[in-house]
Amino acid sequence: MKEKIQVISAQAKLEITNADSVKILTDLKVKYLGKSGMVTELLKGMRDLPKEERPNAGKLVNDLRAEIEGFFAEKESVLKEIELQKTLETEAIDITLPGKTNKLGALHPITLIKNELIDAFTGMGFEIFEGPEIEEDYYNFKMLNIPEDHPARDMQDTFYVNDNILLRTQTSAGQVRVMLDKKPPIKILSPGKVYRSDDDASHSPIFHQMEGLVVDKGITLCDLKGTLDEFCKIMFGKDAKTRLRPSYFPFTEPSVEVDVSCSECHGKGCKLCKGTGWIEILGAGIVNKKVLEGCGIDSEVYSGYAFGMGIERIAILKYKIPDIRLFYENDLRFLKQFK
Ligand code: PHE
* Average pLDDT over every residue of 70-76: 89
pTM passes above 0.75 = no
* Residue finishing a domain among 90, 122, 141: 90
Residue 318 lies in a domain: yes
Residue 178's CB: how many other CB atoms inside 10 A? 19
One domain, residues 284 and 245: yes
Confidence class of residue 241 from pLDDT cuts 50, 70 and 90? very high
pLDDT at 293 over 90: yes
Residue 78: its pLDDT value, please? 87
Do residue 164 and residue 310 come from a single domain? yes
The Cα 176–Cα 127 span in angstroms is 16
> Would you give the end-to-end CA distance of the chain in angstroms?
86
* C-beta of 252 in contact with ligand 1 (< 6 A): yes
Residue 249: predicted pLDDT: 95
The number of the ligand 1 atom at minimal distance from the alpha carbon of 283 is 8
Ligand 1 atom with minimal separation from the 172 CA:
1
Residue 50 has pLDDT above 90, yes or no: no
Q: Are 306 and 223 in contact (CB under 8 A)?
A: no
Considering the domain boundaries, does residue 221 fall inside one? yes
Q: Are 42 and 121 members of one domain? A: no
What spacing in Å lies between the alpha carbon of 308 and ligand 1's midpoint?
4
Return d(Cα 317, Cα 322) in angstroms, integer: 9
Check pocket membership of 285 for ligand 1, CB cut-off 6 A: yes
Ligand 1: residue of 140, 157, 170 to mutate (most ligand atoms within 8 A of CB) is 170
How confident is the model at residue 214, as a pLDDT? 98
- What atom in ligand 1 is closest to the CA of residue 287? 11
Radius of gyration (Cα) for the chain, nearest Å? Answer: 44
**Residue 57 sits in which domain range?**
2-90
Grade residue 199 by pLDDT with cuts at 50, 70 and 90.
Answer: confident
Alpha helix locations (H) across 132-214? 137-140, 173-181
1 pLDDT higher than 80: no
Over residues 101-125, the pLDDT tens digits come to 888 888 999 999 999 999 999 999 9
Question: Which of the four pLDDT bands, split at 50, 70 and 90, describes residue 145?
Answer: very high
Mean pLDDT of 231-245: 94
Examine residue 228 and state whether it is found in any structural domain, yes or no. Answer: yes
- Answer yes or no: is pLDDT of 47 > 90: no
Judged by average pLDDT, the poorest of 35-44, 103-112, 121-130 is 35-44
Handedness of CA 250, 252, 253, 257 (dihedral sign): negative
Decide which of 52 and 172 is more confident: 172
Q: Quick one: what percent of the chain has pLDDT higher than 90?
A: 56
* pLDDT surpassing 80 at residue 155: no
Gap from CA of 248 to ligand 1 centroid (Å): 9
Please report the atom of ligand 1 found closest to the CA of residue 308. Answer: 7
Say if 101 falls within a structural domain.
no
Atom of ligand 1 lying closest to residue 171 CA: 1
User: Is 97 contained in some domain?
Assistant: no
29 in the same domain as 168: no
pLDDT at 251 over 90: yes
- The candidate with the shortest Cα–Cα distance to 251, out of 205, 211, 311, is 211
CA distance 176 to 125: 20
In this structure, the answer to whether residues 84 and 163 fall within a common structural domain is no
Mean pLDDT for the stretch of residues 277-281: 93
> Which one, of 307, 298, 300, 294, lies nearest residue 183 by Cα?
298
Instruction: Answer yes or no: do 157 and 77 share one domain.
Output: no
Is residue 289 scored above 90 in pLDDT? Answer: yes
CATH of the domain at 290: 3.30.930.10
- How close is the Cα of 110 to the center of ligand 1, in Å? 19
Q: Is 174 in the pocket of ligand 1 (CB under 6 A)?
A: no
271 and 160 housed in the same domain: yes
For ligand 1, atom 4, which residue shows the shortest CA distance?
Answer: 170
Select from 34, 62, 90 the last residue of a domain.
90
| 49/10 same-domain check | yes
Q: Is the CB of 306 under 6 A from ligand 1?
A: yes
Residues 36 and 142 in one domain: no
pLDDT given for residue 91 in this prediction? 86
- Domain presence at residue 263: yes
Indicate if 127 and 55 belong to the same structural domain.
Answer: no
Q: How far apart are CA 22 and CA 14, in angstroms?
A: 16
Q: Is the CB of 256 under 6 A from ligand 1?
A: no
Ligand 1 centroid vs 196 CA: distance in angstroms? 14
Residue 187's pLDDT is 98
8 Å CB contact between 221 and 286: yes
Q: Which residue out of 146, 172, 196, 305 has the highest number of ligand 1 atoms within 8 Å of its CB and is therefore the one to mutate?
A: 172
Task: Please indicate, yes or no, if residue 103 is contained in any of the structural domains.
Answer: no
pLDDT confidence bin for 303, thresholds 50/70/90 = very high
Give the chain's mean pLDDT: 92
The answer to whether residue 102 is domain-embedded is no
**Are 173 and 291 within one domain?**
yes
**Within this chain, do residues 322 and 247 fall inside the same structural domain, yes or no?**
yes
The structural domain count of the chain equals: 2
Residue 272 alpha carbon to ligand 1 centre in Å: 23
